[in-house]
Structure formats: structure tokens, C-alpha cells
Structure 1
Amino acid sequence: MLDDDGLVRTVFSGLSPLVVEEVTDEGEQIRLRARTPDGSATCPGCGAETARVHGYHRRSVADVAIDGRRVLVVVRRRRLVCPTRGCRQTFREQVPGVLERYQRRALRLTSQIGAVVRELAGRASVRALAALAVRLSRHTALRLLLRLPLPALRVPRVLGVDDFALRRRHRYATVLIDAETRQRIDVLPGRTADVLEAWLRAHPGVQVVCRDGSGAYAEAIRRALPHATQVGDRWHLWHNFGEAVLKEVAGHSACWAKAGPPIKVGKRAQTTRERWHQVHDLLGKGVGLLECARRLNLGLNTVKRYARVPEPMRLQRAPQYRPTLVDPYRDHLRRRRAEDPAVPVLHLFNEIRALGYPGSFNLLYRYITQGRVEADRLPIAPRRLTRLLLTQPDNLKDEHRHLLDDLTAACPEMIDLAGLVRGFADLLRPREDNADRLDAWIAIARAADLPHLHAFIRGLDQDRDAVHAAVTLPFHNGGTEGVNTKTKRIMRQMHGRAGFALLRHRILLA
């Protein structure tokens, strides 16, 4: 038994409102015997002071562990008699800050459990708490999580709105944050316009709403907050623009890849030309796109792709090759074929094998017949060229910058596309005059022969006010995207087994 009063007061300072009478070491558990202090107490019904004792009651509660061992506190509480006639006859005194009604854990232990459960949820929190000598089941852990108070809901001036999947392609939810402080505001079940509209009408005061290109969210904001400013997300604008640039680069690959191997004219190229003429002949007679698809037995998107390009050569793609074992010996092969154009492939194979070539004869033969030896450069994939176009020029290596300059200079449309990429990237730095500059950029893009970029511009026209706000105001939806990333981590921890109420609790308490 411990009898050092100073040590007891230090270790169990969280129980200072109680009078500790005895501390017993029971091996795996430490037992404290305590009582409530003498004096008067307040009746919870009428507020009258009384010190008249009717009886005593013992209650066992768990406290924070010490030295990896559980702590059990046995508290003797008084049952007091209320002096007010007509009020309750007796009542048990409470100890605010230490014990609450019906609780079997000290408040500081409950607070620690809540912090662990808030981060780890069910089974993981139980395993972590077991190492801290706290025993509870995963069901109790989840019940404690749902009892934790949520932050007070407040209406922000700038609201960020985005959706995330509860079950992809089946169920979704909407998360709302303060776009200025990135504090979570609420989580709504569903991503329809009615769900967001109901929340906005119930919580007036929002002046600016940051969102992506969702038409449902735009409609909800227009109906509930007609005077609020809608701000499109600049990341989504750049992402959609990048997809349009990739389509343009792929569509003009036959032009900018002229320095590479020639495009083979085979059965596929012939079929492409025939389909292009069929589609354009029907369109020239006034037949609609859907009717063209029905008559030619093609998909509607395929017909749109054929109708978008002015000539069939745009539909052909430059050949793409992967790196092979022959690439290090390309200069030697080129030099030997320049000296003797009739040199047999077997002689070339023996020569480069003596230089260390580890590949087969068939690989070398295909390499030569594909025209890769005489090509001025190795082919580059449209996706890689798009990445070079969308990368900030200062972040490119010299070799990549020279390659980009050579490829864009080989095609007039690529020259226009490179200039439009730089202009649009500059617009994503918010400035007050960007609205006029955006209109000028759109006029230049429409004059260029870039049909995929025209489709992107039509999307901008449908949401022009939000796009103008995105390029002129400093607000954005990046914080909401960050919350969604953390939400996916939370859902992975719960393995998709938790209901919406528990998920909402974890998101708002994170």
C-alpha cells in the first residue's frame, strides 16, 4: 500500500475534486478508494443547498492507466435529502469535471479514448488502446465516437463544395468546408441539387461558393443563393484543358512526327479514309450525327470524331515504339548502312553482337524494317509531348526544351497550340484584368484550326461567370480536394463497413 500523500496528489491530480483515502497495488491493477468531500451540495431540481445525508452509494469507474496497468477508482458518493417541499426527495451528488451521470470511465480517460477512436475508428483503436491498458470492444469504441460532440456548425463567407464516392457509381456524398480556413463544415448524403439547395436555404449567409464543373451544384446555388458568386476550380479547368490538348496532339501526330518513320499506308488507313468520306458525304447532305451513326453502324462518338477533323490524315497516328536493345547501336547501324546500303542484316547483327548486343536477330530485323535506323529522332508518344507542352518552360531540361521546339515547329497547328497553352496557363494566375484577357484568348483559340480545343471552349461558355470568377478571384477549391483525399484514407481504414453517420462524424472530427 502506498502512503506518500504528495506522490498520490501528483499522480492522481485529475481526481483532485475527490478525497483519496487509500491506494492499493493489486499487481495488474491499481485500486483507489475515494469519497466526495464533505459540505453542502446543490439539488439539480430546485437548486437548493443541502448537507443532509440520506445514505451512501459506491461507484466504480476506470481512470487513465499508470505504468501500463489499469486504474480502478471506487468512489463513495452521498445521497442527499432535498429541503424543498414538492421537489425530489433525495438525489445523488455529482462531481463535475470528474464523473458524469451513468458514466463508468473518468472524463479524462474518455477524452483519451475519444482521441484514439477519432483517428483509428473500431478495431484499430481497440488494438492501440489495449497497449495502453484500456479494455473495450470495437462496438463500444464506435459508440463512444458517435457520442463525441461535433464542432459547432457555422456558416462561412466562402464555401467550398465537392463530392466523393461512398460506393463508386452508386452512392455519393457532398462535403462542405470553409474555403478560407479549410475547416470542415458539414457532410451531406447525396450530391444532387436538391440536397445542396436545402442546406444553403437552411444556413443563409454564404457569399462565395467554390465548386468544380458540376451542373447540379451550379443549379442548386443559383436557386438558393441567386446573388452569391460562383467560383470554378482552376485545377479542374487546367485538367480539362490538358485533356483537350492531348486530343489535339494525338490528332496532329501525323504532322509533328514527320521527322520520324513514315506512316504506313495499309488496310487500316484505307478504312479510315473511306469512313471519313462516308461521314462527311452524309453530313454534307444534311444528315444528323445520330442518323449517320445508325446508317453506318458506328458509335455516335466515333462519328463525332470523324466529323470533327477536316481531312482524313488527321485521324492517322504516327507509329509509337518502345525502347529496345538495339537503341544503343543505332548510330553504328546508321553509319554502316550509309556506307554500304546493301549490307546484309546478318553482317550487321554479327558486328553489333561483337560490340555487346545481347538481343536476337529477329529484333534487329524488325528494327530495321520499321525504318527506325534512318529516322532523324526516336518517336515520342503524344502523351509525353502533351506533358512537355503543359510543363512550365523553366522546369524543362535543355534536351526536352529543344525536343519540344523541334516538334512544335514541324506543324503549324502545334505552333498555335503551344502559344495557346502558354496563354491559358498565364490566365490561371488570378488578376483583375483576366476576364478581358480570357475573352481575347477564347477569340484566338476559336480562330485556330483546333477542333478539340473548340469543344473545351464551348464548355467554358456554358459556365462563363464561374470561369471569370476563377481567373480573377483568389478563391479556389483546393482545400475541399484535400479533405476528399483524407476522406478516402478514412474510408479505407473502415473498409467500407461503416454507415454514413459514423463516416460523417470522423470527417468532421478529423
Structure 2
Amino acid sequence: MGDHASGLLKVLFPHLTQVLIDSVARIGKSIRIAARCTAPTARCSGCGTVSSRVHSRYGRRLADTAVSWQETAIDLEVRRFFCDNTACVKKTFAEQVDQLTFRYGRRTLTLQRALQQVALALGGQAGERLAGHLAVPVSGPTLLRLIRGMDLPEVPELTVLGVDEFAFRRGRRFGAILIDMDSRRPVDVLPDHTADTFADWLREHPHIGTVCRDRGGAFAEGAERGQPGIPQVADRWHLLHNLATGLEKTVTRHRSCLKVREIEPAPVQAREPDEESAYERKIRERHRDVQAQFQQGLTIAAISARLGLDRKTVRRYARAATAESLMRERPSRTSALTPHKPYLARRWAEGCDNAQTLRGEIAARGYRGGRKSVRRFLNTLSRHNGPRAVPPPPPAVADVVRWIIGRSENQSDQARQDLKDVCGRCPEIAEACRLARGFATILRRLDGTGSVSGSLRQTSPRSRRSAPSATDFARTSQPSSAGLTLPLSSGAVEGNVTRIKLLKRQHYGRAGFDLLKRRILLAS
């Protein structure tokens, strides 16, 4: 049984194998382990001299990781030894147990490391709540102190360095994050995003081979000043974004070309419902019914009963030779709106069906009536003329830009046809489409070995006005050319910037630079 217990102790509690356990007791909801050190010698923490002369003994209480969801503490009896090295500044020293204790610590090394990981993952308040559930209670400020007490990792040898800015406070104060593009992990965080700070960092780390950055600005200047001639790679996404911005300006300047030719409106009846026709149709139907039954030999009384008509009416229809002889002239009714009905019909056919707007237009032409009359007339036009042919709305500027830059194989047939129609109506947009699509294709294929720069320099002045972002490429030369030939991207940097936003929110925006830097570097 003793061998099994010893083996179980080594497997489940390896940090307790170097001490002698005297007792294990459960006190309330916690577990207390009484133990003492048994090593015959100890090494001085000041000079490293091994000593066996015991000066005194004292007790330490160390919080340990929970056992079966119960708080656990170790009451450890520790010895102080004399240091026999006369040159050492320490006369006595306390022994430390490997994998169990550390200087001035009130918790075991295992629990210390576990709480550090909780703090790095969740921060102060959230980490405090989780630690309470894990039966290792600790306060939020203590967790933050654990983070601040951790050593920062050394900057490794880098082949490609990624750099981008992030906001401590949006629009006010910015920092910079530096990424190892091979491992996609952050290696350092700078307190600002100025060229001077970045240049100083590069001077301190001359082993950097290539800098992968965004569109330029301070990082381009800092890289050139910190390590003159260092290869710089402009991110392809930012180059494509610049291209989209230039295309948007170009298409906006020629917005009128996006409008589809208006459909010729069909002729509209500007009169009210044809009540005369309905009246004539009713007279003819009655005359036909009465004459048919009268020819069958029915009496006036019988026809009156069948059709539900007065006998005088039946007699008048029976005596009439034709239906036209029964019709009488009906005086036409006019209103204040009558002179304006042709104008309203034309405007309705053009697509305007807002009664308030049309009422204002005809009021300027002398109309003194109300909006309800205009609304009733518009409803009449809708009932008697059917749905009007409304021209399709023009495509949005953003849609045209997406059609130009997007992959044609991923677009619908309708989108390709719409882009073809737009280019057919506007030569400037057509030229911008040609240049932009060529540039986007080279970006995707990483085929920028000089051909793009030469072709863009040969474009006409009108073409440069059509695609400013594409022609500006010729002036960015080396960084942009590297972005067109090297398979490097700032995606890893952008992902870490998004992660920084999460870390900031966990601290409710109150994390100082030292704390935020450690969470960024140590929790990655």
C-alpha cells in the first residue's frame, strides 16, 4: 500500500515529492497539508555555496491548486541555513524547494503559474471570478500584479517584420505592434507610431531582413531611417484598397453615365373613367334581353318580373327599334383639376406619383384645389392604364467599383452585362476599368516584375485622370513592386490588431501601456 501511495503522490502531486508529508486534514471546506523539508543541505541564494548548518526553522503557509474543487493549503516547515562563505553578503538564507516554492511567495509555483495564465487570458475581474469557481480565490488587482511581474520575452531573430498601428484611444493616441511574419506572433509593442520611434527600434535590432507594412507614411520613413535600403513590402490589400478609392472618385465624377436611358412613356388617357361607355353597355344589354324575351312571346308583365324592371321601362325597351334611340346626351362634368389632367398624366407616365409634389407643380400653373383631388386622379390613372414602365435605377458607385475590381468568374451574368453597358456609355470609366482590372490581376498573380510600372507610365493623361490609384503605383515603385512579387501580406498584423481591441475591452479601456504590452506579448 505504501508503494502505491508513493507512486500516486509522484503522479498527481509531483511538486510534493521533495518534502515529507506529516499529515493531511480537512478543515471546513479546505484541505490542509502539513509537510517539512528533509534535504540535508541547501544552496545559498546569494553565492550558491552549499551549506548543511541549520540556523533555525519557521513555518510557511502556501496556497496550492485545488483538490477535488476544495481549497488547498500547505503548512511547510522551512529551515534557515548558515552561509559558510565569508565573502557572501548573506549570513543566513532560507531553503527553497524546487518546483514548490519561490522567494517571498505565498503560493506554490504550480498555482503561481496557473494564476498567471488565468490573468493573461481574462484579465483582472473576469480572472477573479473564474479563480473563485476553481477554488483558488484571488483578487483582480493581484492578478494584474502577476502580469506586471512577468518578464517580457526577448526579440528573436526575424526574417520578415510586420508593422501596423493600433489605437489606444480612437482618433487621439496610437501605438504600433510589431509581428514576426513567420510565426505570426507579436514580438514588441511601441508606445506610439511615429517614424522616430520605429527607426530607433530598427537600429536596436539590425537583424531584420524585410519590413511588411501598410500603405506608407511614418513606417515607411522610419524603416528608411532606421535601416537605409531595407526591403519594404506594401501590403496587397492596401494597394487594392487604394485602387478602389481612386476608382470610386473616377466613377463619381462620371455618375451621369450610370443612368440608364429612360423608357419612352406609353400614351396615357388623361380623362377619368369612361362612365359613358358603361352607360351605353348597360342600355344595349337591357335592350337585347327585353327584345329577346319579347320575341319569344312573353308579356310585358312576365318580362318585368324576370328582369326586375318596371313595366314602363320594359314597354319603352320593347318599342325601341335600336338601343341608340334609348340613349340620351349626358352633360360632361368639369372641375378645377380638368385643365391640368394632361400635365398630371404626363408626369405620372414619367414616374412621379407623389400627390403632394404634383399638387405643388400644378399650383404654380394656377390650380387652387386640394391634394386629395390629385390623389384620386392618380389612382384613376393607375387603375385604367395598368403599371407604368419604370426605368431601372442606375447602379450605385460602389457596385460599379466592385464589378471592376472583383473576379469576373465570381460575378453574375447580369453584373457583367451591367458593367459592359456602363463602359459603353462612358469611355473614361471603360479606360479606368481596363487599367484597374489589369492591376488587380497582377496583384492576385504576384506578377509585377516591371511590366505594370512600364505599362502604367505609358498611359495617356486622360487615363491617369481615370485611374489615379493605378498611375500612382509608378511613383511607389519598390514597396509596391515587392508587394506584387512577394507572397507577403499584413493579414497576420491586422489579426493581431483585432486581438488588441479584444484585450482593451477586457480591461474596459483602462489598461496602462505596461499592462497591455505584457498581455499582448505574453498571451500570444
Does the TM-score normalized on the shorter chain lie above 0.5?
yes
CA distance in 2, matches of 1:410, 1:346: 42
Structure 1 residue corresponding to 2:499, chosen from 469, 486, 489: 486
2:268 maps to which residue?
Answer: 341
1:77 maps to which residue?
Answer: 78
Matched, 1:252 2:254: yes
Matched, 1:121 2:136: no
CA distance in 1, matches of 2:202, 2:87: 48
Deviations 1:27-68 (Å, cap 9, x if unpaired)?
311111111123222233443333232221110011111222
CA distance in 2, matches of 1:110, 1:346: 90
Structure 1 residue corresponding to 2:154, chosen from 152, 155, 159: 152
Deviations 1:373-411 (Å, cap 9, x if unpaired)?
445433322122222222211111233233333333332
Alignment partner of 1:74: what SS? strand
| One-letter amino acid of the structure 2 residue matched with residue 434 of structure 1 | G
CA distance in 1, matches of 2:273, 2:237: 54
| One-letter amino acid of the structure 1 residue matched with residue 269 of structure 2 | A
Deviations 1:307-365 (Å, cap 9, x if unpaired)?
xxxxxxxxxxxxxxxxxxxxxxxxxxx9xx74x52256999xxxxxxxxxxx9977996
Matches within 5 A, 1:187-226: 187-226=189-228
Paired residues of 2:22 and 2:34 also in contact (CA < 8 A): yes
2:100 maps to which residue?
Answer: 98
CA distance in 2, matches of 1:459, 1:26: 76
Alignment partner of 1:166: what SS? strand
1:379 maps to which residue?
Answer: 394
| One-letter amino acid of the structure 1 residue matched with residue 201 of structure 2 | W
| One-letter amino acid of the structure 2 residue matched with residue 485 of structure 1 | T
CA distance in 1, matches of 2:184, 2:460: 38
Distance 1:443 1:150, change over 3 A: same
Aligned-pair distance for 1:200? Answer: 0.8
| One-letter amino acid of the structure 2 residue matched with residue 389 of structure 1 | I
Matches within 5 A, 1:240-319: 240-260=242-262
Alignment partner of 2:218: what SS? helix
CA distance in 1, matches of 2:195, 2:23: 63
Distance 1:360 1:221, change over 3 A: closer
Matched, 1:57 2:77: no
1:283 maps to which residue?
Answer: none
Paired residues of 2:31 and 2:72 also in contact (CA < 8 A): yes
Structure 2 residue corresponding to 1:477, chosen from 468, 473, 490: 490
Structure 1 residue corresponding to 2:425, chosen from 410, 432, 452: 410
TM-score between both structures, scaled by the size of structure 1: 0.75
Alignment partner of 2:515: what SS? helix
Distance 1:151 1:47, change over 3 A: closer
| One-letter amino acid of the structure 1 residue matched with residue 494 of structure 2 | E
2:368 maps to which residue?
Answer: none
Aligned-pair distance for 1:89? Answer: 3.3
CA distance in 2, matches of 1:127, 1:462: 55
Cα RMSD for the two superposed structures:
3.0
Alignment partner of 2:467: what SS? helix
Matched, 1:169 2:178: no
CA distance in 1, matches of 2:82, 2:152: 37
1:141 maps to which residue?
Answer: 143
Distance 1:97 1:14, change over 3 A: closer
Aligned-pair distance for 1:208? Answer: 1.0
Alignment partner of 1:428: what SS? helix
Distance 1:237 1:46, change over 3 A: closer
Instruction: Point out the structure with max Rg over C-alpha.
Output: 2
1:497 maps to which residue?
Answer: 510
CA distance in 1, matches of 2:19, 2:44: 19
| One-letter amino acid of the structure 1 residue matched with residue 473 of structure 2 | L
Distance 1:344 1:170, change over 3 A: farther
Aligned-pair distance for 1:508? Answer: 0.8
| One-letter amino acid of the structure 2 residue matched with residue 470 of structure 1 | G
1:443 maps to which residue?
Answer: 457
Aligned-pair distance for 1:142? Answer: 0.5
CA distance in 1, matches of 2:391, 2:425: 13
Paired residues of 2:404 and 2:436 also in contact (CA < 8 A): yes
1:428 maps to which residue?
Answer: 443
Aligned-pair distance for 1:74? Answer: 0.7
Q: Which runs of 5+ in 1 are unaligned?
A: 262-333, 348-358
1:351 maps to which residue?
Answer: none
1:24 maps to which residue?
Answer: 25
TM-score between both structures, scaled by the size of structure 2: 0.73
Alignment partner of 1:429: what SS? helix
